[in-house]
Structure 1
Amino acid sequence: MLTDLPEAELRRYRSDLREPSDFDAFWSDTLAEARSCGEPVQVTPVPTPLAAVDVFDVTFPGFAGQPVRAWLRVPRGAPGPAPTVVQYVGYGGGRGHPLENLLWSAAGFVHLQMDTRGQGSGWSRGDTPDVAAAGPQAPGMATRGVEDPRRYYYRRFLTDAVRAVDAACGLPAVDPDRV
């Protein structure tokens, strides 16, 4: 790893950056607004050749109630609400194909794999657009709307992530105490 400081200095380093005074209010207001709008969670079975996992196409309300897509994979014959993994796909990826990423459901977990808005052209396909007009950006999403925290891409993405957990906790196959 390359750094601009020797290891001893890195271990002592403390940033001068401080949390803005309105940080908690910003996120509380953002999440309250997101939770107040949008359509109910939609869950549609997806026919697959799988013998041990049931797959569902899920749409849940994300930032500003905008629809976000996900795959729900449930171990077939699970004995009731099960522990659940909510997965957020990394930069450049989307939720992919319904038959991909079967590890968690094969291990006995319910698995909700959230699509990443505006992503999915890098290494797995996506189905959720980023409909916000956020102003200037360098190639990619990391700078989309960076000049204003209210318009920043990651405000939308992080809100979608919280709403994915909210959506998972409301599904019958999910034990909300084990997400």
Structure 2
Amino acid sequence: MALFDLPLDELRGYRSRSVEPEDFDAFWSATLDEARTHELDARFERRTDSGLSTVEVHDVTFAGFGGHPVKGWFVIPAGITEPVPLVVEYIGYGGGRGLPHSHLLWASAGLAHFVMDTRGQGSGWAPGDTADPEGSGPSLPGFMTRGIEDPATYYYRRVITDAVRAVEAARSHPLADASRTASFGASQGGGLALAVGGLVPDLAAVVPDVPFLCDFPRATRLTDRMPYREIGDYLKTHRGRAERVDRTLAYFDGVHFAARGRAPALFSAALEDQTCPPSTVFAAFNAYAHPVKEIEVYDFNDHEGGGPFQQAVQLDRLPRLLRG
């Protein structure tokens, strides 16, 4: 696969044309205020059947958007008695929280690790356990177009709200150090990590790998690959609604969340990535507000990005950020 997007020197200066809604902050403030009218009700159930001896696993349920129950895993090093830094992870598109032994990296590094299940997803490549009780109007198969003609009904309003509440739930555990919390994820999870970074003011780090949900005006018109293509296919059928759809997507664009980032950030991008084109990742990186930010670039990789090489970078840098 050849390079298909802008050359690297242009990527480093690229800026999105996504127009931020005037009521962006008011929209999200009202959304989160409504969610917090429901008790968080975070419940941590110790699991003794995981077969794991070096970590302790908890099956978690908390109230997300609309008070709906959202599942998660909380994994910590076995035997700890004092709070440790916390990594809150979000999952890639189509996947669910899977099984506990799939989430050993951060607990093995001595950190607390909370993995949020994604409502309605979890049948693509890893199983999930969280329903999405909200319906929507006509939509294309997938999640990108559910309720897409109104920000109030759009699917990602619910998911991003869940993601913020996941931080609150994870921080409620007595062995999680709330003052040293990172949002983390790849692809869709990276987009959610960015959103949380813009909505939660006191994170210690934000770590988005090849993030999805960024620079919608460019992404939806540049790549033919799913999931962005779901939006193009919707508009192919629902002719004349592009302006309305673009208006909705602006409330969920990682570029605008990045402009509110208040913690050090570690991004990654892959220059042959046709799922999350590198210009869309750089759009978020270049807009990111905190002055301490880095981006690892993988020249000849597609959406897999840096894979274990990027994990090695994260293992080196993230604990230092979290431990101050």
Place the TM-score, normalised by the shorter chain, in its bin: over 0.9
| Residues in 2 aligned to 1:102 and 1:9: alpha-carbon distance in whole angstroms | 38
Cα distance change on mapping 1:151 and 1:50 into 2, 3 Å: same
* In structure 1, C-alpha distance between the alignment counterparts of 2:89 and 2:15, rounded to whole Å: 31
Q: Answer whether contact 1:38 1:66 (CA < 8 A) is retained.
A: no
Tell me the matched-pair count. 178
The change in CA–CA distance for 1:6 and 1:100 in structure 2 (over 3 A counts) is closer
Q: Relative to total residues, which structure has the larger helix share, 1 or 2?
A: 2
Give the CA RMSD over aligned residues: 1.8
Name the CA distance, whole Å, in 2 between partners of 1:53 and 1:11.
40
Correspondent of 1:132 among 125, 131, 134: 134
Q: Is the 8 A contact 1:89 1:116 kept in 2?
A: yes
Change (3 A) 1:54 1:16: closer
Q: Which amino acid aligns with 1:82?
A: V
- Paired AA for residue 35 in structure 2: A
Q: SS where residue 51 of structure 1 aligns?
A: coil
* Alignment deviations for residues 54-86 of structure 1 (CA, whole Å, 9 cap, x no partner): 101000111111110001111111241110110
User: What corresponds to 1:141 in structure 2?
Assistant: 143
Helix, strand or coil at the partner of 2:84: coil
Determine what percentage of the aligned residue pairs are the same residue.
Answer: 54
Partner amino acid for 1:17? S
Equivalent residue in structure 2 for 1:57, among 59, 62, 70: 59
1:95-117 deviation line (CA, Å, top 9, x unaligned):
00122221111111111000011
SS at 1:178 equivalent: strand
Please report how far the alpha carbon of residue 11 of structure 1 lies from its aligned counterpart in structure 2 after TM superposition.
6.2
Please point out which of 164, 176, 179 is paired with 2:178. Answer: 176
Shift of 1:18: 2.0
Q: Deviations over 1:9-33 (max 9, x none)?
A: 7666544432111110000000011
Which residue identity lines up with residue 51 of structure 2 in the other structure?
P
Q: Is the 8 A contact 2:81 2:175 kept in 1?
A: no
Moved more, 62-71 or 16-25: 16-25
Question: Among residues 68, 72, 75, which one is paired with 2:74 in the alignment?
Answer: 72
Query: What is the SS of the residue equivalent to 1:177?
Result: strand
Range that drifts further, 21-30 or 96-105: 96-105
* Structure 1, unpaired ranges of 5+: none
Q: CA deviation at 1:175?
A: 0.3
Distance (Å, rounded) in 2 between the aligned partners of 1:58 and 1:10:
40
Q: Within 5 Å, which residues of 2 pair with 1:152-167? A: 152-167=154-169
Q: With structure 1 as the length reference, what TM-score do the two structures score?
A: 0.92
User: Does the alignment pair 1:109 with 2:111?
Assistant: yes
1:88-99 matches, within 5 Å, as 88-99=90-101
- Partner of 2:260 in structure 1? none
Tell me the distance in 1 between the aligned counterparts of 2:123 and 2:18.
34
User: Cα distance, 1:136 vs. partner?
Assistant: 1.4
Which residue in the other structure is 1:22 paired with?
23
Partner secondary structure for residue 30 of structure 1: helix
Aligned counterparts of 2:100 and 2:16: Cα–Cα separation in 1:
43
Does the C-alpha gap of structure 1 residues 13 and 103 become closer, same or farther in structure 2, counting only changes over 3 Å? closer
1:34 equivalent in alignment to 2:32: no
C-alpha separation between the residues in 1 aligned to 2:54 and 2:9?
A: 51
* Mapped contact 1:71–1:114 kept (Cα < 8 A): yes
CA–CA distance in structure 2, aligned partners of residues 79 and 43 of structure 1? 16
Does the 8 Å contact 1:45/1:57 carry over to 2? Answer: yes
